[in-house]
Structures are given as C-alpha cells and as structure tokens.
C-alpha cells in the first residue's frame, strides 16, 4: 500500500477511521500501565486522533508520526492550537508545549535517533497490509527502550470478508508478530455486533476491537 493511497484518502475526506471520541479502551487500560507523567508517548500513523490530546491531559508529551500534511494541519486547526514548525531529519515537525507531530514516512523514524519508553497504537498496525506488518513491528521494537510499554488496539473480523484497511489482526496474529520482541497480555475486547454498520448490513459476520498491553523485552 503506497503513500498515494493515504494522501488521496485525506484529500477526499474518506477518513472513516477517525473518531471524535476518545477510545474507551485507551481510557480503561492506559492507567494500568502506570506510565509516569511527563513520559513521551510515541504514536505512529497518528492521523489527527484526539487520543493524543487525552494522553497530553494525563501529563505526557506526545510524539506523533503522520504521513499526511493535511491530517497534521487539521489536528492543530480543529483545536486552534498554535504550533511552530521546523525541519528535523526527513520530517517537517510541528510542536506545541506537549505535542510534536512529525509529518513524513514513519518508516524513516530511526533516522532521528530517538527512543521511547511508551507507545500507543490504535490505527497504525491495522492500516498496513499483512506484507508490511512484520517490518512495522520490527521498527516499533527498535524505537522502544527495553521495558517500554505499548498499548495496542486492533480489529478482528473474518479477513476473507474484507481486503482493505482496517485490516483484521487477530489475537494469534498479534502473538506471531510481537512475541519475538515483547511480552503480550490480551486485556480487552469490544464486540461491536449489530452496532457496526458493516455487520448490520451483512457485509461482515462480526467485528471486534481487541486491546493488548505489551512490554518490550530486556536484551
């Protein structure tokens, strides 16, 4: 899946993945991670997620990575936050006191020489086709310090019923992808059932949102 696909989605405002509400599993499970205040939280493929504002309200700083310049612009415009801009490595970066958004290809993030102690992924892994997911997980592991924690949210449905993002990532798939680098706890599940329009229409037989707490292994 190339960059042009996502640029076009944002230009055409086909962003059904965006949610105005804070993710309920983020609210429920993030406090259990006991991430100290002021810890910087990595948020890959962040879009204009309001979850980043919630993380900032918990006392964290946030480092979001987003391909679309339009998404970055909208994130700050929607809340009328003033951000300063500068070029950092391969990225254009917009800063406020607590939130920094790096606009560019997340797969170049190692060029910054940054490492993080916490991360949140609600819509990154599931945005990537299965052929790219192992590369993404390896990069994420390299960006996190030993002992770092990751709150991961995926969706799960019968994958043969949909061949477009968000891609289905089951409990078994999470285990296969992350186990070489992380300990894994499956902590939450929301079964949307008929509340999901694709289930209600018969397009999908089920649609679940899964939540995991992962900890970067010590080496």
- CA angle in degrees (0–180, nearest 5) for 86-92-98: 70
pLDDT tier for residue 8 given thresholds of 50, 70 and 90:
low
pTM: 0.93
Residue 78 pLDDT = 83
Tell me the per-residue pLDDT of 70-107, one tens digit each, with 9 for 90 and over.
999 899 988 888 899 999 999 999 999 999 999 999 99
Residue 2 pLDDT = 65
Cβ-based neighbour number of residue 202 at 10 Å? 8
Nearest to 52 by CA among 143, 136, 122: 122
Q: Residues annotated in the binding site for S-adenosyl-L-methionine, as ranges?
A: 10, 45, 66, 122
Q: Residues annotated in the binding site, as ranges?
A: 10, 45, 66, 122
Phi, psi (rounded to 5 degrees) for 115: -135, 150
Distance CA 95, CA 87 (A): 11
pLDDT tier for residue 9 given thresholds of 50, 70 and 90:
low
Domains in the chain, CATH or no CATH each: 3-14+23-216 (3.40.50.150)
- Give the three-state DSSP class for 122: coil
pLDDT tier for residue 5 given thresholds of 50, 70 and 90:
low
**151 or 6: which leads in pLDDT:** 151
**118 or 164: which leads in pLDDT:** 118
pLDDT tier for residue 18 given thresholds of 50, 70 and 90:
very low
What mean pLDDT do residues 178-204 have? 92
CA-to-CA separations, 71 to 39, 64, 68, 131, 150, in angstroms, rounded: 24, 11, 5, 25, 23
Residue 15 pLDDT = 52
């Amino acid at each position: 899946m190339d960059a042009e696909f996502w640029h076009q989605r944002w230009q055409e405002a086909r962003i059904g993945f965006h949610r105005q509400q804070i993710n309920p599993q983020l609210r429920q499970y993030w406090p259990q991670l006991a991430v100290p205040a002021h810890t910087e939280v990595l948020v890959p493929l962040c879009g204009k997620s309001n979850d980043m504002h919630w993380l900032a309200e918990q006392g964290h700083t946030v480092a979001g990575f987003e391909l679309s310049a339009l998404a970055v612009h909208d994130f700050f415009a929607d809340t009328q936050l003033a951000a300063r801009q500068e070029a950092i490595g391969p990225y254009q970066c917009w800063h406020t006191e607590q939130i920094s958004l790096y606009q560019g290809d997340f797969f170049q993030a190692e060029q910054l020489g940054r490492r993080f102690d916490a991360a949140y992924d609600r819509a990154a892994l599931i945005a990537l086709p299965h052929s790219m997911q192992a590369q993404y997980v390896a990069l994420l592991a390299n960006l996190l310090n030993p002992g770092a924690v990751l709150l991961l949210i995926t969706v799960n449905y019968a994958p043969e019923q949909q061949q477009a993002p968000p891609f289905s990532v089951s409990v078994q798939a999470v285990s296969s992808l992350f186990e070489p680098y992380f300990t894994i706890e499956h902590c939450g599940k929301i079964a949307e059932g008929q509340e999901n329009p694709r289930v209600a229409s018969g397009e999908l037989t089920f649609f679940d949102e899964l939540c995991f707490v992962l900890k970067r292994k010590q080496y």
